[in-house]
Amino acid sequence: MKLGKKPMYKPVDPYSRMQSTYNYNMRGGAYPPRYFYPFPVPPLLYQVELSVGGQQFNGKGKTRQAAKHDAAAKALRTLQNEPPPDRL
């Protein structure tokens, strides 16, 4: 950034609390599906955390890039009012 502060983007994992709804402890006459693969689907909303100069900003978007742009826009709105550093 122009203020001499390095931005650090960190994706927020949407699957940290993902639980499978499939019951593996089936007993009795029920036969489990033959081809069941509980794989994750892409999230509907991506989240990114931006750290600049000790401050953190969260961004959300339909794509990773849109989430990064949202976080950067929030950071620019806040950091625009700060005084410039003495030297770079």
The pLDDT tens digits for 9-58 are 888 876 555 555 555 555 555 565 565 566 666 668 899 999 988 899 99
Write down the pLDDT at residue 67.
94
The domains of the chain are located at: 8-81
Does the predicted TM-score (pTM) go above 0.75? no
From the list 88, 83, 68, 81, the residue with the least C-alpha distance to 7 is 68
In this prediction, residue 35 carries a pLDDT of 58
Secondary structure letter of residue 63 according to DSSP: S
**Cα–Cα distance between 13 and 43 in angstroms, integer?**
10
**What distance lies between CA 77 and its chain's CA centroid?**
20
Pairwise pLDDT comparison (77 vs 32), residue with the higher score: 77
Angle made by CA atoms 10, 43, 9, in degrees to the nearest 5: 10
Amino acid 74: pLDDT: 95
Q: Which CATH architecture has domain 8-81?
A: 2-Layer Sandwich (3.30)
